[in-house]
Structures are given as structure tokens and as C-alpha cells.
Amino acid sequence: MGQSFDDYVDENGNIVVGDHQTLVSHVERNVAENADALAYRFMDYSQVSEGEAKELTWQDFGLRLRAVAARLQQVTEPGDRVAILAPQGLDYVVSFFGAIYAGTIAVPLFDPDEPGHSDRLRAVLGDCSPKVILTVTRSAKGVRDFVRPMPAAERPRILAVDAVPDTVAESWTPPNPHADDIAYLQYTSGSTRVPAGVEITHRAVGVNALQMVDGIKLDENSRGVTWLPMFHDMGLLTVILPALGGNYITIMSPLAFVQRPGRWIRELAAVTDGAGTFAAAPNFAFEHAASRGLPKAGEELDLSNVIGLINGSEPVTVSSMRKFNDAFAPYGLPATAIKPSYGMAEATLFVSSTRNTDAAKITWVDREALNAGRIDFAEPDSPSALPIVSCGYVARSQWAAIVDAESAVELEEGRVGEIWLHGENIGRGYWGRDLETSETFHNKLVQRLSSGSRAEGAPDDANWMRTGDYGVYIDGELYITGRVKDLVIVDGRNHYPQDLEASALEASTALRPGFVAAFSVPANELPDEVYQYGAAGLSRDPQNAAEQLVIVAERAPGAGKADPVPIADAVRAAISQRHGVTARDVLLVPAGSIPRTSSGKIAHRACRAAYITGTLRGGYTQNAFPDAAVQVAAVQNSFPDAVTE
């Protein structure tokens, strides 16, 4: 490659992206210097179970981008929004970069034929008002049907990128964007509001991609493998990485992974030429691969070349890492492969990760102290011990301070507070939302620590982005303890939902691992069924608005007809004993009922809303990550929102 990571680092060790180093210039450099090298590879399993490889070299890729961009330039103006509503594949990658090549703002979304997304898709299109929608020929009718109800004056033009001939490329005009221009809008979750589009600039994505390269020590030979949907920020940044340096990336669809997770594993081990492979995936993917992705008897598999599996987007569990390591260590998977990480759309993606030479670190702390906002260490066998997983070290040229959100004062190591971020990788704001932008992205740190400040090196007047996440530093490493808005407060005591959910899972094998939601509901909003059940210990009082604990859990495979009463009693007893709080309702629901985000994370607020309205108790199937046996419709329902709640 023409440039290495060191070419982007100044004399002080900071990552620097020049004013004219953009996604366009990066791709153009690759086209010029690496024309015959492979850029993107898509494994298509729709016709052949073993997969059919479809590939684009940099020369082919550049030609397709210029053609699509030239066609867009005929019908758009610079800065217009261009939405991508296409299935996973090479045409999606071409659409995304093609929109940027045209000087427009790309909006990565999804094919409307994927069920469970309609409301969110309408909301996003209404929010960003795209001038054009890019899709493919086979999806064009579905896209037209979807936008037909829109007023004619607001209806976007629809272009099928696979129908644009290469000859159109000759009329392309380079847009020459500035690094601080918006490259794309990354839409966040819409579980409680209209989704918000984070404005990601060329500089932000360039810096963040380089931070990820540095964090897990990728080089020009490293190859990526991804099945994550490309409207998901973790999937998108993985696809962007080759443009800034490195080898090709292999893409497959989410369905291909869910149906046969061994496909992902085999691609990670596919080439044994000494070059490292990497991937990113949410926590549930490691559980799924460990249980259903093992090779067949006698099948050879060498995973010794895996240099980093970024585990992020949802709380990292000890059990998922243990299961994955136990399953694949016999096939050469390094003990250091899994990299618990922290990231979010507002930071483009990557914030922190475990060092490349380190194995994942688990620290045992006292539950009561953590709930009170401080760290006291505990022995693993102590009844009050709680395991928390380190998300490693904050990326180079990024700052993450632990802050008392009310006073805006930085807290010392060992104190729990809200995580505030600063750096050139941070998004510019939310599209069209000045107030929310100000509240989230434009915060001032009133007081820094006199020594050991995590803000050292950031300007005194820097803007800080509030993440909405609780975190703590222990021995210099960042631990995520929960979401500010998801914290369960009962009887004046704080409880992290993930902690309550883990206790529920340990109490009964009838609960589906990873599919338990804990949240609080005012007593006067609990359904009648709770008051009819004596073990809840409540009498209805319309004036009683005290928060009460509710546990909603999906049934494990094989437990669909099990008597719910003893299961609920076991969960209630375990939570009472361990946490000193009563679960007023323990509701068992069918698999696929609990709403989740695109990364597979429990959407606590959406689940709480469905519980209060009664749809969960009524058996209504929400958008959720399904069992591997289900087909396309249910698979796509695993990705109802963007990355963060």
C-alpha cells in the first residue's frame, strides 16, 4: 500500500488526517496504486451452500464508483442526501461509496423487503429527505412500492446501481470534498424516539478507522471478515477500513451467518499465508458460533491467524467468551483473539479495545459498592461478587473522562460516572437537531483531576460528548457498567439491569441465554395479572407510583411448555437473595419476543414500553434475534434499529 499507519501520525504521536484526505482521495489512491489487487469479496450463499465468491479489484471498484457517482451528479446537488436501500452485497458497498463520490451525503439503510423495519425506515427517510434512493434491480419494485405513499414532491428518485453502465464513468466530476464535510449519516436507534442521524465527516471516519487499525494492530496484509449489516456502524466501518490501507474484506449476509455460523468461522481461517484476519461482532454472535459453528468431525480448521475479534455493541459476558474460547481453542484460536471493546455511533464507532497482546480481562467487584458508584474488589466465590469485563484502553487521539454528570466534574479512578468523549472521531452532531446536538455534543468539563486526568492533552475549552453510558477506570482500563437511562432504581437503590439479568439466567435453565430483560415499572402501571399472583406481594393502589422490578425472559429451546410458576419462583428467589429486591413480575415469553437493537443488544426501553402496553404478555412477536433455524424474515428482524439504544 502507498501509505502506512505511521504516515498519519505526527511528531507527538497523534493521528492527523489532512484537510483533503477524504474517503474519495483514499479510494482514488488505491485505484491508482493497487489497481489489480482485490478490494472487496462477497460470499453468496443464496444458490450454493458452500458459497460463491464474487470479487471486485480496486480498478473495478473505482470504475463502478465513478459510473454511479456520475449518474447521481446528473440528478443531485452537492450535499443532497442519498439513501441506500439495498440487500447486503457488493452493490451496497458501491452504492455507499458512489454516493460519496458524487459529493452527496450517503445514508446507509436497508432493503424495505426486510420485514420489521417499516416504521423506522419511514421515520429515517422523513428525517433526512433523500433526493435519491440507490438500490438494485431485484429490489427496485419493493422500494418503489414503499415510497409510493409519499407526496409526489417529496418522493425520492430511485436508481438501480447494477443498471448503470460503466461508460457513464467518463462524465464523473471529482467532488473534492473537505475533510470536515459530512460523508454520511449514521442513524441511531429509534426505540423511544425518531432515529437520529449522526453527521460523520470524512475526518471523523478517517481518524476512527485509523484508531481501530492502531487499537488492534492491523497492517497492510490484514484481512477482514464481516456478516454485520452495512447500515450498522460496526459493519460499515469494517467495510470502510480497506480504503485507508490493508487487505481485502470478505462480506457475507447476516442470514448466511445465522443459518450456518460455521461459514464465518471458516472464512476467518480460509487463508493460511501468515496474514492476520480480524472481525467485529456483538456478544450473541460468539454464543451462536460456539453452539452451532463447530466444524464437522474430521474437518480441518486453523484459526491461529486470527489476530482480533472485536466484541462490542452490547455488554460482553464472561460466559460467551468462555464458550467461544473453549469451542475453538482446539483449532488454534489464540487466547488473545477476543477483544472486548466499547464504541458507539456518535463516536463514528471505535472508542476502546483490549490490547492486541492481551487476553480479555475479567475483574470481580462487590455488587453493592458498584451500585453505589464505587469499586471494591471481591473474591470470585463471594456471594456479592460480580464479574465485569474490561473494554481495554481508549484509542489514540481520543479522550474518555469519567464525569459526575450533574456537576461536570471529572471523577478519579475507581469511581463510577458517565463517560464523556472528545476527539476528532466524534460526529459533528445530529442531522437537523440543534437542541439534541447541543445537549449531547457540546458539553464542557468544569473541573479536571489535578493529576492523572483522562482529559490531559485535550484543549481546556474542548467540547465533550455525553455517551449516556456509565463507566469506571480500573488500573487504567475502561469498564462499562451500564446505560444511564437503563439503570433500575427500586427503593432508592441502584441496580444494573445486566446484573439482574445474569442472576435470573443462573436461576433457571428454562430461560434463553442472552434474552432476559430487567427494568422498572411504576406500581400503578403493573398489569392486573401481577396483583392476582400472591407471590408478587402487592395490592393495587392507584396512587402508588413507586418503581417495581420486572423481569421478562424468553423461554429456552425445549422449555416452551414448561410450567411458568416454578420458573418464576426460582428467578424471584435468586434475585431476592442476591440483590435484596423483589421481582414483582417474572414474565416468560416465546423466543423472538424481546425487542433488540441491530447489534443484538436488549432494547430495554422498547421492551418496557411493550410490557406496559400489554403486547409482550399477549404473545406478540417483537423484532428480535431469532433461533438459527428460522428463515429470512425472522433473521432480518434481528436488526430493527441502529447500534445504540
Q: Comparing 282 with 105, which gets the higher pLDDT?
A: 105
DSSP state of 534: G
Give the separation between CA 284 and CA 290, rounded to whole angstroms: 10
Strands 197-201 and 182-187: what pairing?
antiparallel
Q: What is the model's pLDDT at position 587?
A: 92
| Phi/psi of residue 396, nearest 5 degrees | -55, 140
State the average pLDDT for the chain.
87
> In this model, does residue 362 exceed pLDDT 80?
yes
Quote the percentage of the chain above a pLDDT of 90: 59
258 band by pLDDT with thresholds 50, 70 and 90: confident
Q: Which domains does the chain have, with CATH numbers?
A: 15-34+56-219 (3.40.50.12780), 357-483 (2.30.38.10), 488-636 (3.30.300.30)
Q: What is the pLDDT of residue 622?
A: 38
- Which whole number is the average pLDDT over 246-251? 89
3-state secondary structure of 309: strand
Angle 608-614-124 (CA atoms, 0-180°, nearest 5)?
A: 55
Whether the CB-CB separation of 305 and 333 falls below 8 Å is answered with no
User: How far is it, in rounded angstroms, from Cα 191 to Cα 545?
Assistant: 24
- Residue 495's DSSP bridge partners are 488
pLDDT tens for each residue of 506-559: 899 999 988 899 998 888 888 888 887 665 567 777 767 678 899 999 999 888
Residue-level pLDDT at 117: 66
Most confident of 170-174, 386-390, 585-589: 170-174
What CA–CA distances, in Å, run from 352 to 192, 346, 358, 417, 448?
A: 27, 14, 13, 17, 21
Q: For 152-194, write each residue's pLDDT tens digit.
A: 989 999 999 999 999 999 999 999 999 999 999 999 864 445 6
Mean per-residue pLDDT, 292-309: 91
Write down the pLDDT at residue 640: 33
Helices and strands counted in the chain (H then E): 18, 27
* pLDDT at 644 > cutoff 50: no
Instruction: Give the pLDDT confidence score for residue 150 in this predicted structure.
Output: 92
d(CA 15, CA 18): 10
Report which listed range, 47-61, 309-323, 368-382, 604-618, is most confident. 47-61
pLDDT greater than 80 at residue 273:
no
Among the listed residues 388, 303, 396, the one whose alpha carbon sits nearest the alpha carbon of residue 352? 396
Q: What is the mean pLDDT of residues 240-247?
A: 85
Report pLDDT digits (tens) over 115-157. 556 778 888 999 999 999 999 999 999 999 999 999 998 999 9
Residue range 468-496: mean pLDDT, rounded: 84
Residue 496: per-residue pLDDT: 77
DSSP 360-393: P-EEEEEHHHHHTTB--B--TTSTTEEEEEB--E
Conformational region of residue 619, where left means phi above 0, alpha means psi within -120 to 50, and beta covers everything else: left
The number of beta carbons lying within 10 Å of the beta carbon of residue 2 is 12
Say how far apart CA 283 and CA 319 lie, in whole Å: 10
pLDDT given for residue 540 in this prediction? 77
320 falls in which pLDDT band (50, 70, 90)?
Answer: confident
Q: Which residue has the higher pLDDT, 498 or 108?
A: 108
- Asked whether residue 16 carries a pLDDT value surpassing 80, the answer given is yes
Q: What is the chain's Cα-based Rg?
A: 24
Which residue has better confidence, 302 or 598? 302
Q: Provide the pLDDT for residue 313.
A: 65
